[in-house]
Amino acid sequence: MSLSFFDQFMSPYLLGIPLILISLLFPALLLPSPHNRWITNRISTLQSWFIYTITKQLMTPLNKKGHKWALILSSLMIFLLSINLLGLLPYTFTPTTQLSMNLALAFPLWLATLLTGLRNQPSASLGHLLPEGTPTPLIPALIMIETTSLLIRPLALGVRLTANLTAGHLLIQLISTATAVLFSIMPAISILTACVLLLLTILEVAVAMIQAYVFVLLLSLYLQENI
């Protein structure tokens, strides 16, 4: 029984084809492509306002050089947000519960911010490894510590997103299983458990949105350090 709880995190296959590829492309279908004969409606206006708000929030701490990343960060934010929320629907698969995928998103973008800093301002980027005023005996140890903390940033990004979503999905499945089992034995307890499940689902919707925002926000902060 304990193994079946983790089956939801396995990538489904159909005729030997991994369906995770389809689930990654599905969020793009929710955003209509603009057209010169496109009549603006409430949905498109809401989407435009939402994208504008996200972009403004992410680009506010950055200078004009960092605004070149607006399209990448905003697209990543909407992509993660769509996948996280769609993964809460019944009988769906959440690709962001896979550590390999999250690391595949985090590592290239983190490396891009690092290379941007090394190319544009190498002295300032390397200066983050040694704070000003450090005592001489502590310089080698502090450089090793700061280098380690710099290199584990993409790992921390991927693990944070994976752990939060995985824990939430496991809690939802555990409580929903308990609700179904207790319904025929103790209906009152089952109803109480169903109320807890509803509150947990609302919490997981908030977690899905917050984790997508935190992932992109941390990338923007890493970019801010290097520009």
* For range 120-143, the mean pLDDT: 78
Cα separation, 40 vs 20, in Å, equals: 32
Whole-number CA gyration radius for the chain = 22
Classify residue 18 by its DSSP letter.
E
* In the predicted structure, residue 210 carries a pLDDT above the cut 90: yes
pLDDT of residue 142: 82
- Using a 10 angstrom Cβ sphere, with 0-12 exposed, 13-18 middle and 19 or more buried, the burial of residue 77 is buried
C-beta separation of 84 from 209 below 8 A: yes
* Residue closest to 225 by CA, chosen among 150, 139, 158: 150
Q: pLDDT tens digit string along 88-99?
A: 888 777 888 888
pLDDT of residue 159: 92
pLDDT of residue 208: 92
Q: How confident is the model at residue 39 (pLDDT cuts 50, 70, 90)?
A: low
Mean pLDDT value across the chain:
82
* Residue closest to 26 by CA, chosen among 82, 69, 91: 82
- Extract the tokens encoding 25: 């492309």
User: 22-26, 121-125, 152-156, 176-180 — which is least confidently predicted?
Assistant: 22-26
Tell me the CA distances in angstroms from 206 to 34, 183, 193, 210, one per residue in order.
Answer: 29, 28, 20, 6
The listed range with the strongest mean pLDDT (11-15, 168-172, 208-212) is: 208-212
Which of 17 and 222 is assigned the larger pLDDT? 222
Share of the chain above pLDDT 70, in %: 83
* For range 118-136, the mean pLDDT: 77
pTM of the model: 0.80
pLDDT of residue 1: 45
**What's the sign of the alpha-carbon dihedral 26, 203, 90, 106?**
positive
Cα separation, 126 vs 124, in Å, equals: 6
- DSSP H or E segment with residue 219: helix 187-226
pLDDT of residue 68: 84
The SS3 assignment for 102 reads: helix
Classify residue 31 by its DSSP letter.
S
Domain range summary for the chain, segments of one domain joined by +: 19-27+42-124+139-226
3-state secondary structure 117-150: HHHHCHHHHHHCCCCCCCCHHHHHHHHHHHHHHH
pLDDT of residue 7: 62
C-beta separation of 207 from 60 below 8 A: no
C-beta separation of 175 from 200 below 8 A: yes
Which of 29 and 99 is assigned the larger pLDDT? 99
Residue with tokens 């980027």: 125
Cα separation, 75 vs 33, in Å, equals: 14
* For range 165-194, the mean pLDDT: 88
Q: How confident is the model at residue 156 (pLDDT cuts 50, 70, 90)?
A: very high
Share of the chain above pLDDT 90, in %: 20
Q: pLDDT tens digit string along 71-90?
A: 888 888 888 988 898 888 88
Our measurement of the distance from residue 3's CA atom to the centroid of its chain's CA atoms, rounded to an integer in Å, reads: 26
